[in-house]
């Protein structure tokens, strides 16, 4: 840890910079440069003091990532579940982050001064490399636009902590994870029961501390005895108010009710105002709402890996959400029979009922009823087309392998996933790309890829 704090100090970076200035490797930190950079004498004498600096700096720098659910140290969303409305909670979060940044900056200055004195060259403590800068958290709403052309996605963990849109989106995304059984809601109710965070050199955990896991440290697929919520153990939720037990909006509301009690409705209303949507269903139904946010959060560099998949009908009136880690060879057949078939039967019955009422009506009442029949006919056709596409993907009988990655496994669903990436990947598969993948081998065996 003492060596760690030296390597992350401004004086050490200044010495690297001096060497870079006399090479053609302008921004390249070659192994040889690191090897020949001197380490201060008397390191052993100050080892304990420097190690303490390193631990404090590590824990301070790690703090934002315990609120980032893509991190292996994630515990709970940043918006905690104490008193106050969302605006008040967001203000507390922003203030805490400013204090953390100020403390970290002061700590870095202490470290730099100490290391410069060990080198015997105090001027090395002047941070010409670029003093650590932090975003003030202000982001335009356009940052949340969903773009298929974005190949590079910056790590915005720190700036998201002070962005209201980000905070609310992350809270609701965590609620979806709770509904699927990914996150353990009991930690939100009793934070003191959270597992300890790993030490700096501990092996990476199989599960992040906030996950719903068994005594073996592996994820659970069924709710344990006495768990306060039902979970979608098969990995499916639907955009369908006619199925409240499986409806994604109803599931998120059950989590909010558990967390905020009597204030849940006002919290939801305030969240919708911050997200600039009429209600939660509008945010989940719009592909540029929750799905876009989730995809952006689960993308880094060229890797795009959303784990909550939106499988949606053409006019967005019906959708099935799939939790990717639960994907198995029977998943698509199950979704088609359990959800889409049932939806089609329900809407068909409603259409027949509306048509049966036409004979007894006349005049303006008849015209109004005919409009209802036309709208219902369109909905039935939409669900029928959706079911056809879902069955088409299922009948390929491809056995998913999670090692292929998200996009390759999502590609067969390109017609019902409102995102360009699966269609692009499917075309590449048909051209014989990704021959190493399990899905490519299956497509070749079926004669789909020559």
Residue 335 lies in a domain: no
Residue 36 lies in a domain: yes
Q: Which residues pair with 309 in a beta bridge?
A: 322
Residue 108 lies in a domain: yes
Q: Give the C-alpha distances (Å, rounded to integers) separating 284 from 53, 277, 295, 313.
A: 45, 10, 13, 13
C-alpha torsion angle, residues 140, 155, 321, 213 (rounded to 10): -140
CB 177 within 8 A of CB 187: no
Q: Give the C-alpha distances (Å, rounded to integers) separating 355 from 96, 258, 344, 367, 370.
A: 60, 42, 16, 12, 8
3-class DSSP state of 211? strand
Backbone phi, psi, residue 401, to 5°: -130, 115
Residue 255 lies in a domain: yes
If asked whether residues 306 and 175 sit together in one domain, one would say: yes
CA–CA dist 259, 171 (Å, integer): 11
User: What is the pTM for the complete model shown?
Assistant: 0.88
Residue 140 lies in a domain: no
CA angle 393, 396, 401 (to 5 degrees): 90
If asked whether residues 99 and 187 sit together in one domain, one would say: no
CA–CA dist 398, 330 (Å, integer): 10
If asked whether residues 371 and 315 sit together in one domain, one would say: no
CB 104 within 8 A of CB 132: yes
If asked whether residues 190 and 319 sit together in one domain, one would say: yes
If asked whether residues 177 and 89 sit together in one domain, one would say: no
Residue 34 lies in a domain: yes
Q: Which residues pair with 311 in a beta bridge?
A: 320
The pLDDT score that the predictor gives to residue 123 is 74
Residue 35 lies in a domain: yes
If asked whether residues 76 and 195 sit together in one domain, one would say: no
CB 182 within 8 A of CB 170: no
The pLDDT score that the predictor gives to residue 159 is 59
At which of 141, 159, 177 does a domain end? 159
CB 153 within 8 A of CB 301: yes
Structurally, the chain folds into a number of domains equal to 4
343: left (phi over 0), alpha (psi -120 to 50) or beta: alpha
If asked whether residues 289 and 432 sit together in one domain, one would say: no
If asked whether residues 421 and 357 sit together in one domain, one would say: no
If asked whether residues 310 and 172 sit together in one domain, one would say: yes
At which of 112, 144, 159 does a domain end? 159
Residue 311 lies in a domain: yes
Q: Which residues pair with 320 in a beta bridge?
A: 238, 311
> What residue ranges of the chain have pLDDT lower than 70?
21-29, 81-82, 124-161
CA–CA dist 396, 412 (Å, integer): 8
The pLDDT score that the predictor gives to residue 24 is 55
Q: Which domain holds residue 19?
A: 1-133+153-159
If asked whether residues 309 and 409 sit together in one domain, one would say: no
Number of H helices, E strands in the chain: 18, 5
In this structure, is the dihedral angle defined by the CA atoms of residues 80, 214, 230 and 73, taken in order, positive or negative? positive
If asked whether residues 8 and 50 sit together in one domain, one would say: yes
At which of 279, 301, 327 does a domain end? 327
If asked whether residues 100 and 207 sit together in one domain, one would say: no
Backbone phi, psi, residue 56, to 5°: -65, -45
Q: Give the C-alpha distances (Å, rounded to integers) separating 238 from 169, 303, 331, 339, 379.
A: 19, 27, 14, 8, 16
195: left (phi over 0), alpha (psi -120 to 50) or beta: beta
């Amino acid at each position: 840890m003492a060596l760690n704090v030296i390597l992350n100090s401004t004086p050490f970076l200044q010495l690297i910079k001096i060497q870079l200035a006399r090479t053609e490797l302008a921004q390249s930190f070659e192994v040889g440069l690191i090897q020949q950079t001197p380490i201060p004498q008397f390191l052993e004498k100050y080892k304990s003091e420097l190690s303490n600096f390193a631990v404090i700096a590590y824990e301070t720098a790690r703090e934002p990532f315990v609120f980032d659910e893509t991190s292996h140290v994630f515990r709970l969303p940043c918006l905690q579940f104490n008193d106050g409305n969302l605006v008040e909670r967001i203000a507390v979060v922003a203030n805490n982050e400013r204090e953390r940044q100020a403390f970290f900056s002061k700590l870095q200055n202490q470290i730099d001064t100490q290391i410069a004195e060990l080198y015997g060259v105090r001027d090395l403590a002047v941070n010409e490399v670029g003093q650590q800068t932090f975003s003030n958290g202000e982001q335009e709403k356009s940052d949340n636009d969903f773009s298929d052309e974005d190949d590079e996605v910056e790590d915005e963990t720190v700036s998201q902590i002070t962005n209201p849109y980000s905070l609310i989106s992350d809270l609701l995304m965590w609620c979806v994870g709770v509904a699927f059984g990914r996150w353990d809601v009991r930690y939100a109710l009793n934070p003191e029961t959270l597992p300890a965070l790993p030490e700096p050199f501990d092996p990476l955990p199989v599960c992040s501390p906030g996950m719903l896991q068994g005594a073996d440290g592996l994820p659970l697929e069924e709710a344990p005895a006495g768990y306060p919520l039902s979970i979608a153990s098969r990995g499916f939720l639907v955009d369908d108010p006619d199925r409240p037990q499986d409806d994604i909006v109803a599931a998120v509301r059950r989590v909010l009710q558990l967390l905020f009690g009597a204030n849940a409705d006002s919290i939801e209303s305030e969240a919708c105002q911050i997200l600039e949507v009429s209600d939660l269903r509008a945010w989940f139904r719009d592909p540029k709402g929750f799905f876009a946010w989730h995809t952006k959060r689960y993308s880094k560099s060229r890797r795009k890996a959303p784990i909550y998949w939106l499988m949606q009908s053409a006019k967005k009136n019906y959708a099935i959400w799939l939790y990717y880690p639960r994907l198995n060879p029977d998943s698509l057949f199950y979704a088609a029979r359990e959800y889409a078939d049932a939806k089609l039967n329900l809407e068909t019955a409603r259409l027949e009922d509306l048509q049966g009422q036409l004979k007894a009506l006349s005049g303006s009442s008849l015209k109004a009823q005919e409009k209802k029949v036309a709208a219902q006919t369109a909905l039935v056709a939409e669900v029928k087309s959706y079911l056809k596409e879902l069955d088409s993907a299922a009948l390929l009988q491809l056995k998913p392998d999670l090692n292929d990655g998200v996009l390759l496994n999502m590609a067969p669903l390109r017609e019902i996933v409102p995102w360009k990436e699966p269609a692009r990947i499917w075309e590449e598969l048909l051209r014989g790309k990704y021959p190493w993948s399990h899905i490519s081998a299956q497509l070749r065996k079926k004669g789909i890829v020559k």
